[in-house]
C-alpha cells in the first residue's frame, strides 16, 4: 500500500514529512492535537479537475463543508473555484475569504427563510432546490426582497453509489433531492413561479465514491430529464453532477479527477449536450489527502486482551472513526526500530466509541508523535467541544513554510457565550 497523501507526504529516513516539513518538529513547535495541510496538495487537486475541464464552459464549486477554514477557502478562491454551500454561515465564510457570491451554489434540504433572504441579497449564483415546498418558499422570499432566484432542482437519480449507507445520498429512500418521476412536474411549477428562474439541474449521489460508473448512470438519468424538461419549453443551461469522488485512506484506488471528468465529458458529448455548462461540487477529493492530524502518545496501557495507546486527540477532534467506523492510516511521525505490538489508538474522551484506530501495529513510546493520515476532509470540520475540550490548531504549509491558520481554541473562548443565572 502506498502512503495515503503521497507524494506530498513521504518518509525521509525515519522522519515523516509533509511538503518537506518534519511533522514531528511541527507537532513540537505548535503543540498537539494539530491539523497540518499542504496547500500544494490542494492546488494540485484543483488543477487535476481544471485540466480536464479546460476549454469547456464549467464551474468547479468546492463543497466547503469538507473543510471550511478561511485559509483553505482563500486558497480555492485564488485557484479560481466557486463554492457549494449548505448554510448562511458558509456563505459568510466564502465572503470573508474573498470569494464572490456570484460563484456560489446553495445546496441543502433545510434552507430557512432567513438563509434564503441573505443568499438572495448577496446574489448567489444558484439555489439547488431539494423539495416542492422549498420552491414555493424561495419564490415568496425572492418576490419579497425584489430579486429573482436562479434555481436548479436537485434530482434524486436513484443510483447506488456503492459507498457507506451514511454517505450514500442518491437512492430513493434518502432524504435528499426531488424524486426522478416528479422532476418534470417540479420544473413546470418552478417555471411558473414569479420569483424563480430555472437555470440548471443537479444531483449528488454520495461520498467516497471509488468508481466512475455510478456517475455515468446518474449523468444519464439527469440528461434524460434535461431532454424531457426542455421538450416542455423550459431551458436548462447547466448540469451539475455534484461531488463525491473518493480518496485513498487505505487500499482504495479511486479514479483520478481528470479521468472522471474526461469520462463525464465524453458521455455528455455522445448525447449531444456538449454546449451545456458543467458544474461539479468536489469536497473530499480536493482536501482529504492534503491534511494530517498530529497527536502525542500520552500513555501505553497494555491489557489482557487488548493494548491501548492513549493519545491526546479524541473523537471531538476527529469524529470519522466514531461516526462511520472509518479506517484512517496512523503513522509514527518519527519511526522507531524495535517491536511493534498491536494497539487500539484511543483518545481521552469518556466514551468507548472514542477511538482513532483499532488493532494497529506500532512501535511507540509515550511522548512520541503520531500522524492520522487523510485527515484534510470532514475532520476539523466536524470538531466539537465535547468534554470541554478546546478545538485543535491548524497549520497550512505554504511554499514549504508553516503558517498558523487557526489558533488553538482557548478555554475562555468555550465559555464566552455562556451566562450564570443572576442571583435574586
Contact positions vs ligand PLP (CB under 6 A): 63, 65-66, 84, 107, 204, 207, 242-245, 281-285
Q: How far is Cα 285 from Cα 257, in angstroms, rounded to an integer?
A: 8
User: Is the Cβ of residue 177 or residue 195 nearer to ligand PLP in the bound state?
Assistant: 177
User: Is the Cβ of residue 242 or residue 357 nearer to ligand PLP in the bound state?
Assistant: 242
Strand partners, 21: 18
User: Is the Cβ of residue 32 or residue 75 nearer to ligand PLP in the bound state?
Assistant: 75
User: Is the Cβ of residue 245 or residue 371 nearer to ligand PLP in the bound state?
Assistant: 245
Residues whose CB is less than 8 angstroms from the CB of residue 373 and which lie 6 or more positions away in sequence, other chains included:
3, 4, 5, 9, 249, 292, 328, 329, 330, 331
Size of the chain in residues: 424
C-beta of 209: minimal distance to ligand PLP in Å?
A: 7
User: Is the Cβ of residue 40 or residue 284 nearer to ligand PLP in the bound state?
Assistant: 284
Q: Which residue has the closest beta carbon to ligand PLP? A: 283
C-beta of 65: minimal distance to ligand PLP in Å?
A: 6
C-beta of 366: minimal distance to ligand PLP in Å?
A: 36
Considering the candidates 81, 203, 333, 350, report the single residue annotated as catalytic.
350
C-beta of 214: minimal distance to ligand PLP in Å?
A: 12
Q: How far is Cα 358 from Cα 265, in angstroms, rounded to an integer?
A: 41
C-beta of 349: minimal distance to ligand PLP in Å?
A: 25
Residues whose CB is less than 8 angstroms from the CB of residue 65 and which lie 6 or more positions away in sequence, other chains included:
85, 86, 90, 283, 378, 381
C-beta of 144: minimal distance to ligand PLP in Å?
A: 26
Q: How far is Cα 105 from Cα 88, in angstroms, rounded to an integer?
A: 12
Q: How far is Cα 9 from Cα 92, in angstroms, rounded to an integer?
A: 32
Helix (H, G, I), strand (E, B) or coil at 260: helix
CB atoms within 10 A of CB 175: 10
C-beta of 241: minimal distance to ligand PLP in Å?
A: 10
Residue-by-residue DSSP string for 71-115: HHHHHHHHTT-EEEESSHHHHHHHHHTT--GGGEEE--TT--HHH
User: Is the Cβ of residue 38 or residue 285 nearer to ligand PLP in the bound state?
Assistant: 285
Catalytic residue check, 350 = yes
Please give the grid coordinates belonging to residue 297. Answer: 502518545
User: Is the Cβ of residue 107 or residue 131 nearer to ligand PLP in the bound state?
Assistant: 107
Q: How far is Cα 373 from Cα 77, in angstroms, rounded to an integer?
A: 25
User: Is the Cβ of residue 65 or residue 391 nearer to ligand PLP in the bound state?
Assistant: 65
C-beta of 370: minimal distance to ligand PLP in Å?
A: 25
Nearest Cα to 243, choosing from 199, 285, 273, 200? 285
Strand partners, 150: 197
149 vs 21, 60, 80, 103, CA distance in Å? 47, 20, 24, 14
- Structural contact between residues 27 and 18, judged by C-beta atoms closer than 8 angstroms: no
Helix (H, G, I), strand (E, B) or coil at 334: strand
Q: How far is Cα 274 from Cα 267, in angstroms, rounded to an integer?
A: 9
Q: What angle do CA 414, 420, 424 make, to 5 degrees?
A: 175
Please give the grid coordinates belonging to residue 401. Answer: 513554510
Q: List, by residue number, the catalytic residues.
A: 350
Amino acid at each position: 500500500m502506498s502512503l495515503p497523501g503521497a507524494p506530498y507526504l513521504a518518509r525521509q529516513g525515519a522522519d515523516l514529512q509533509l511538503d518537506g516539513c518534519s511533522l514531528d518538529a511541527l507537532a513540537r513547535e505548535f503543540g498537539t492535537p494539530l491539523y497540518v495541510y499542504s496547500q500544494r496538495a490542494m492546488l494540485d487537486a484543483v488543477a487535476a479537475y481544471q485540466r480536464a475541464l479546460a476549454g469547456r464552459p464549467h464551474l468547479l464549486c468546492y463543497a466547503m463543508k469538507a473543510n471550511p477554514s478561511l485559509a483553505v477557502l482563500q486558497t480555492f478562491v485564488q485557484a479560481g473555484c466557486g463554492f457549494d454551500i449548505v448554510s448562511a454561515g458558509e456563505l459568510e465564510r466564502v465572503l470573508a475569504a474573498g470569494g464572490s457570491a456570484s460563484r456560489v451554489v446553495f445546496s441543502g434540504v433545510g434552507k430557512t427563510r432567513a438563509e434564503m433572504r441573505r443568499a438572495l441579497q448577496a446574489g448567489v449564483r444558484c439555489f439547488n432546490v431539494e423539495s416542492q415546498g422549498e420552491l414555493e418558499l424561495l419564490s415568496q422570499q425572492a418576490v419579497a426582497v425584489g430579486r429573482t432566484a436562479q434555481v436548479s432542482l436537485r434530482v434524486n437519480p436513484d443510483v447506488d453509489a456503492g459507498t457507506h449507507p451514511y454517505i450514500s445520498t442518491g437512492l430513493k429512500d434518502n432524504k435528499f433531492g426531488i424524486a426522478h418521476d416528479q422532476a418534470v412536474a417540479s420544473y413546470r411549477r418552478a417555471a411558473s413561479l414569479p420569483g424563480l428562474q430555472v437555470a440548471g439541474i443537479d444531483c449528488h449521489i454520495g461520498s467516497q465514491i471509488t468508481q466512475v460508473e455510478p456517475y455515468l448512470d446518474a449523468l444519464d438519468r439527469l440528461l434524460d430529464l434535461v431532454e424531457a424538461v426542455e421538450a416542455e419549453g423550459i431551458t436548462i443551461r447547466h448540469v451539475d453532477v455534484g461531488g463525491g469522488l473518493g480518496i485513498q485512506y487505505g487500499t482504495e484506488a479511486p479514479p483520478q479527477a481528470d479521468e472522471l471528468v474526461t469520462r463525464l465529458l465524453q458521455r455528455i458529448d455522445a448525447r449531444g449536450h456538449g454546449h451545456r455548462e458543467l458544474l461539479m461540487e468536489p469536497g473530499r477529493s480536493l482536501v482529504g489527502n492534503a491534511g494530517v492530524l498530529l497527536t502525542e502518545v500520552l500513555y501505553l496501557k497494555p491489557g489482557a486482551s487488548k493494548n491501548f495507546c492513549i493519545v491526546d486527540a479524541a473523537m471531538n477532534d476527529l469524529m470519522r472513526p466514531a461516526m462511520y467506523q472509518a479506517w484512517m492510516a496512523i503513522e509514527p511521525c518519527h519511526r522507531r526500530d524495535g517491536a511493534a505490538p498491536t494497539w487500539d489508538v484511543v483518545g481521552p474522551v469518556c466514551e468507548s466509541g472514542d477511538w482513532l484506530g483499532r488493532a494497529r501495529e506500532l512501535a511507540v513510546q509515550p511522548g512520541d508523535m503520531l500522524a492520522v493520515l487523510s485527515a484534510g476532509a470532514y475532520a476539523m470540520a466536524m470538531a466539537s467541544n465535547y468534554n470541554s475540550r478546546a478545538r485543535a490548531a491548524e497549520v497550512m504549509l505554504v511554499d514549504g513554510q508553516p503558517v498558523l491558520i487557526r489558533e488553538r481554541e482557548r478555554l475562555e473562548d468555550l465559555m464566552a457565550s455562556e451566562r450564570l443565572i443572576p442571583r435574586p
